[in-house]
Amino acid sequence: MYYKGFYHFFCQYNPKGAVWGNIVWAHSVSKDMINWISLKPAMVPSEWFDKYGCWSGSATILPGDKPVILYTGVIKPKPDPGYQVQNYAIPANYSDPFLQDWVKPKNNPILKPTVENVSSFRDPTTAWFNNGQWKMLVGSRHYDRGIAYLYKSKDFVKWARVKQPFHEKSGTGMWECPDFYPVSSHGRRNGLDTSTLGKNTKYVFKVSLDQTRNEYYTIGEYDVVNDQYQPYNMFVDGWAGLRYDYGNFYASKTFFDPVKRRRILWGWVNESSTSKEDVAKGWAGIQSIPRVVWLDPSGKQLLQWPIQELETLRSKKKIVSNVKLNKGDRMEIKGISAAQADIDVRFTFSSVSNVEGYDRKWDRFPPQDLAKDLCGIKGATVQGGLGPFGFLALASKNLEEYTPIFFRVFKTREKKYKVLMCSDATPSSLNTKEYIPSFGGFVDVDLAEKKLSLRTLIDHSVIESFGEGGKTVITSRVYPELAVGGDAHLHVFNNGTETITVERLKAWSLKTPLMN
C-alpha cells in the first residue's frame, strides 16, 4: 500500500529460519518499490487469536487516509493446519509515515469459520466499497470445491457473510490468496481504485490453488446487486485457465498505486531447491520485480510489465541491430554483466512456411500442461522449423550450464499458428539434486507482421521473462555452479531451419538496489 510518501510492503516471514513456521508480517518501506528499507515486523503472534501465526491478508485505506490490515490468525496448532480466524490491526500512530507500530484491538477476531472449514478459511482480500458497505473476500473450500466467501460491513468491524458464495468452482480444492479488482475495459494501462464501478469496467478474479501451487485468473462481470462474480464464457475457470506466470510464482497480490494510478502485481518467487538446501543457504523465497498489470485491448487476457522504476538500475548498455541468425548460430552479448541484466529484443523472420506441424492429439491435455511438457520434450537443442530461438541466459563458458528462454512456432491443420514460449531450467545447473523443471506457456499473438518480442530480467538465481509485451510471463529459479558472477555469459541463438533476424536488441547491466 501507499501511505504518506512511502510504499509499504508486508510479507509472510520466518525470522528464525529458512523453512515454514513462526510466521510474522515482515515490513519494508520504499520511495520507488525498487530500493527498500527494512523495518521491524509489523505483527508477530502475541494474542490468543493469532497465537500460532499471523498469516496472509491485505491492507485497505479507509476514508481519512487511515490504513487497516486484515489478516488470518491461527488459534490452534497444526496438524490440519489449525483453527483459522480473521483479525484486523490498525496503526498505533497515524502520523508516523513508517507505520512502525500496529495495534490488534481486543474485539478480535472479527470473523470465525463455519464448522466445516475451520482449517480452510484464510487470506482476506483488500476491501472495496459500494452500496454503503465495505466488501471483502475470504478464501475457503468445501471438500474439493474452491470457494470465495463475501462479507459485508458498515463499520469495518462487524462483518456479516453473504449467503451465497461470491464465486466457487468444483474440483479446484482450497482457494488461497484470492484477489479481486477492476480493470479498464478500454485496455488502458492506468489502473483503477479497488472500489471503482462503471460500464467501462471489467473485473479480475484470481486464486492461488493449494493443490497445484499455481495461480489462475479469469475476467468477468460483477453483479453488484447479488454480490456475485461470473467469468465471461471465453475464460476457462479452474486448472486449465490463464495464469499470471507459468513458472515459480505464487501467492500474488495486487494493489492500486494512487501516485501513478496503476495496478501493481507482486508475486512470491518460491524456490525449486529442497528445504535442506534452503537451510544451508540461510534463506528461501523472494519477491518478483513489481509489475504493472492491465487488460489487453483484445479483452482476452491481462498484460504485465516491470515497473518503470526498475530502469533506474540500468548501467552499462549494449545495442545490437539487424543481425541474422541461421540454423545453429549463436551470438554472445558482451559488454554487460550477464549475471544481473535487463535484455529487450525483437526478433523478425521473413517466412512462416517452414513451421512444425501441431499434433491434434496434444489438444487432449490442458494448455498449460501441454506447454510445459512440449518445452521439456522439444527443448532448445531440438531442431525445429521456426524456432527454437531466443536467449541462453546464465551460461557457463563452455555451456556446461545455461538456461534457454525461447520461442517455437507450430502450425495446425487449419493453417493457424501456435506460439510456444519456454523457460527451461533443466540444463541450468550441474547440481542434479536440484528440482529444475522446464516451464512453458502459449502466446496469443498474430504472426502477420512476422515478429516476436522478448524481455528478460536476470538476477543471479532468478530469470523473469515477458513474451510479446507481457502476454506470457515465465519466472524460473536456477542455481548455476559455474555461471556465477563474472563467469556468467549471455547468448542469442537460433536452432530452427528458418533464418531469424535480431532486429533490435538492447541490454543493460543492472546495479544492485538497496535491499531489505
Looking at residue 188, its pLDDT comes to: 82
List the chain pLDDT tens, one digit each, 516 residues.
999 999 999 999 999 999 988 999 999 999 999 999 999 999 999 999 999 999 999 999 999 999 999 999 999 876 666 799 999 999 999 999 999 999 999 999 999 998 778 999 999 999 999 999 999 999 999 999 999 999 999 999 999 999 999 999 999 999 999 999 999 998 788 999 999 988 889 999 999 999 888 999 999 999 999 999 999 999 999 888 999 999 999 999 999 999 999 999 999 999 888 888 889 888 899 999 999 999 999 999 999 999 999 999 999 999 999 999 999 999 999 999 999 999 999 999 999 988 999 998 888 887 778 999 999 999 999 999 999 999 999 999 999 999 999 999 999 888 899 999 999 999 999 987 777 899 999 999 999 999 999 999 999 999 999 999 999 999 999 999 999 999 999 999 999 999 999 999 999 999 999 987
Fold of the CATH domain 125-306: Tachylectin-2; Chain A (2.115.10)
Q: Which helix or strand (DSSP H or E) is residue 277 part of?
A: helix 275-281
Cα gap 238→217, rounded to integer Å: 8
Amino acid at 153: S
Task: Give the start-to-end residue ranges of the domains of the chain.
Answer: 1-113, 125-306, 315-510
Beta bridge partners of 155: none
Looking at residue 365, its pLDDT comes to: 82
φ/ψ (deg, to 5) at 496: -105, 160
Amino acid at 197: L
Looking at residue 198, its pLDDT comes to: 84
The verdict on domain 1-113 having CATH code 2.115.10.20 is: yes
Rg for the chain (alpha carbons), in Å?
A: 23
Question: Which 8-state DSSP code applies to residue 77?
Answer: P
User: CB neighbours (10 Å) of residue 316?
Assistant: 13
Q: Which helix or strand (DSSP H or E) is residue 160 part of?
A: strand 160-161
Give the β-pairing of 102-103 and 84-91: antiparallel
Looking at residue 78, its pLDDT comes to: 67
Looking at residue 40, its pLDDT comes to: 97
Looking at residue 79, its pLDDT comes to: 64
| 3-state SS assignment for residue 45 | coil
| Burial group, residue 479, by CB count within 10 angstroms (0-12, 13-18, 19+) | buried
Same fold, 1-113 and 125-306: yes
Contacts (Cβ under 8 Å, ≥6 apart) of 475: 245, 247, 248, 249, 267, 269, 288, 423, 462, 463, 464, 465
Fold of the CATH domain 315-510: Jelly Rolls (2.60.120)
CB distance 219 to 299 below 8 Å: yes
Kindly state the cell numbers that stand for 433: 539434486
Looking at residue 446, its pLDDT comes to: 92
Cα gap 90→93, rounded to integer Å: 9
Give the β-pairing of 175-184 and 167-169: unpaired
